[in-house]
Amino acid sequence: MPLVSVIIPAYNHEGYVSSAVESVLGQTHQNLELIVIDDASQDGTWERLQSFQDNRLRLRRHDTNRGADATLNEAMAIAQGEYLAILNSDDAYDPHRLERLLSVAEQSGGNDAFVFSNVNFIGPSGNQVHHHPRAQSYKALCGHCETLNPANWFFAGNLAITTSNFFFSRSLANRVGAFFPLRYTHDWDWALRASRYSAPIWIRENLLAYRVHEANTLSEDDLWRHIHENSYIQAKALLSPGLRLGNGSEAEARAEALLLVLMQNESLHPVSLLCYLIYGLVGVKEQRLLEFAGGDGASWRLQQMAKAASCPPEIFRSIQQLADQASMLAERWQVIQQMNGEIANRDQCIASQATMIEERWHIIQQMNDEIANRDQCIASQAAMIEERWDIIQQMNGEIANRDSQIEAMQAEIAKLNGNFFIRANRYLKRIWSKFLVL
């Protein structure tokens, strides 16, 4: 039964490292050695490791932090197994993982075996987190790769997700070589290089628990390093001699298939990749390109290039970001078009209202003219009434004078009548007296 060397690079994972070690020592495949190197942890990781008592466990500790790539290379150099597997100190193996992967590797019939499995995403407490953004992105990548040739899997993205998912033969490790000093993509770069020598084998079983938490390296917001590293490893893979195999229609079909894969890779930075490809085509040495990808701690080469070309740094965004931005701009354009339509409708309504207001204004003006005419008529009628009132007053005065005259005449007549009756009475009395005498 082949010896499997399992490598755990440990750093500041005191809360998870015991679970990682236990998941290896509890494998159904027992013929293994476990090499754990503590990369100068500042917490209780080393104390947790020393608590294990198992003759298959080999412990080392660094005085200073050297990085994941250097730690992995050191462990690979001292590993004695015919097959090697890696497990990060915050992840965990399914109990049957090594048995299943070893069985598939042995049945593949080749010495250069590179095998990985499906991944189950877990949170800090070990609970499954299927809805985590990285889990959703991984699910989409798996669905896409189901339709691809294995040779193109790692051009579509890092299908293995992590070095914890790596299981490979010693012979393949010797051909591929060491991990490169890349902070985020040393695993993806190694997988791309391994794919040159042997078609990777993908087991569709959840044999690895990948833990997502705030301290994950990929959670770091170092955008320019991501851009440089992604483009560096992709350009290096595209410039590799093995990619040029084939001719004529076969080579054209291979190129078209690869282009489609890259265009759907959310980690593709088109302009950045073009820059690295040009550097490689004109003969810039790979070590120098690796220095570009690592940065100098002050500024990034592509950032300087954008500044020199008077271009916005956003031109180096990933194809996914550019697609999202294009989609956002299209949505905004559609919203603007809708707003323009609404504005046109409002303008039409305003024009209609303006016409209606104009018509009403003319009606008001006409009504004002009519009111002015009526006011003038009323004023004329008032003047006429005033004149008539004056005439009536004069007539009333004349009537009053006539009434006074009539009253005076009536008084005079009454007076005359009185005098007449008095005189008549006196006259009758005298006649009556004379008659009596007779």
Mean pLDDT of 303-317: 88
Structure confidence at residue 296 (pLDDT): 63
The structural domains of the chain, with segments of one domain joined by +, span: 1-219, 221-317
Structure confidence at residue 216 (pLDDT): 67
Average pLDDT, the chain: 90
Residue 421 has pLDDT above 90, yes or no: no
Mean pLDDT of 194-222: 86
Output the CA torsion sign for 310, 314, 318, 323.
negative
Mean pLDDT of 310-335: 82
Mean pLDDT of 367-374: 90
Residue 218 has pLDDT above 60, yes or no: no
Structure confidence at residue 69 (pLDDT): 95
Structure confidence at residue 76 (pLDDT): 97
Residue 241 has pLDDT above 90, yes or no: no
The residues near 263 (Cβ < 8 Å, ≥ 6 apart) are 319
Rounded Cα gap, residues 392 and 317, in angstroms: 103
Rounded Cα gap, residues 327 and 339, in angstroms: 18
For the domain covering 1-219, report its CATH number. Answer: 3.90.550.10
Spacing of C-alpha 180 from chain mean position: 33
Mean pLDDT of 308-329: 82
Residue 438 has pLDDT above 70, yes or no: no
Return the structure tokens found at 367.
Answer: 């009504």
Structure confidence at residue 222 (pLDDT): 81
The residues with which 60 forms a beta bridge, in sequence order, are 37
Residue 60 has pLDDT above 60, yes or no: yes
Residue 80 has pLDDT above 70, yes or no: yes
Mean pLDDT of 400-413: 86
Residue 196 has pLDDT above 80, yes or no: yes
For 52, 207, 410, the CA distances from 18, given in Å and listed in that order, are 9, 18, 147
pLDDT band at 414 (very low <50, low <70, confident <90, very high): confident
Q: What is the value of pTM for the model shown?
A: 0.76
